Amino acid sequence: MTISTDFGVWIAALLTLCVFSFLYKDNPLYKFAEHLFVGVSAGYYIALNYWTVVDQYLVIPLRAAFDGSQAGGPFQAQMQDYRGWLIVPAVLGVLLFTRLFTRLSWMSRWSLAVVMGVFAGLKTTGFAQGDLVAQVQASLVPLWIPGDLWGSLNAILFTVGLVTSLLFFFYSREHKGVLGGVSRVGVWFLMISFGAGYGYTVMSRISLLIGRFQFLLVDWLHVR
């Protein structure tokens, strides 16, 4: 058995063991790995956003707008080409940092207002089109499929589950009488769904756990 001689593999393996040490109890090795993880994650996402968003959509277009190379001047905007008008999001981005200063923090609301307005408008139509209509459309299945009794039973079960689960979320009337009975059936379906979701989540985490052990045993310790 030969252990890996790759410095990167050693660092990854030791950090993996530091995180796993939490299974015993909270300890300095875990705290070290935890804080390092937070710091590296923050640095990584800041750099990623700088190069994929700020540089690409703000710095490069702004530089091009004011170096005199583009016909029509720096403020001739058209679809996807906003030139000098990109100064506005740059100023709004800088205004966000006023949150760090108590007396000026109210100014960051202007930037937040732009983000909230855009995402409120986008999500209102986006969820209507992508989730509500698409999910309703996909749920309108034929209840009777000639020659396929099993398929028909499943379709009926699905429709009953969908309608009763939706009725469980109808809180404008007290869940009594018929609505109470129907919403109880909805709860059964929701419980099955939560249980399946729980099992699915545990299994996906277990596959990550297996991946980490494979890394330690195969990539680091070269056990084959």
Partner 1 sequence: MKREIPLFLTAVIGAIVLAGFFVPHPYVSVPADYLQRCAVIVVAFGYALGGANLVQVNLEGILRRHPDWPYKLVLLAGMGVTLVFGLFVDRAKFQDPGTVSLWIYDHVYVPMNSTMFALLALFIASAAFRAFRVRSAEAALLAVSALVVMIGRVPLGDAVMAGVFDHPGLPEWMRHLRLEPLQQWIMDWPQNAAKRAILIGAAMGVMATGLRVILGIERSYLGGSD
- Which ranges of the chain would DSSP assign to H, the alpha helix? 7-20, 28-49, 60-66, 87-96, 108-127, 134-139, 149-168, 177-214
- Is 75 in contact with 88 (CB distance < 8 Å)? no
- Site mask, partner 1, residues 133-172, x = CB under 8 A? --xx-xx--------------x--xxxxxx--xx-xx---
Identity of the residue numbered 64 = A
Q: Does 217 bind partner 1 (CB under 8 A)?
A: no
- Site mask, partner 1, residues 36-55, x = CB under 8 A? xxxxxxxxxxxxxxxx-xx-
Q: Does 66 bind partner 1 (CB under 8 A)?
A: no
- Is 95 in contact with 108 (CB distance < 8 Å)? yes
Q: Which of 3, 72, 88, 214 binds partner 1 (CB under 8 A)?
A: 88
Closest CA to 115 of 98, 92, 99: 92
Taken in order 39, 42, 48, 51, is the CA torsion positive or negative?
negative
Q: Does 96 bind partner 1 (CB under 8 A)?
A: yes
Instruction: Pick the closer one to partner 1 by CB: 72 or 211.
Output: 211
Instruction: Pick the closer one to partner 1 by CB: 2 or 125.
Output: 125
Residues 191-210 that bind partner 1 (CB under 8 A): 191-203, 205-206, 208-209
Task: Identify which range of 31-39, 65-73, 175-183 contacts partner 1 by CB under 8 A.
Answer: 31-39
Task: Identify which range of 66-74, 92-100, 175-183 contacts partner 1 by CB under 8 A.
Answer: 92-100
Q: What is the four-CA torsion angle of 10, 6, 212, 21, rounded to 10 degrees?
A: 0
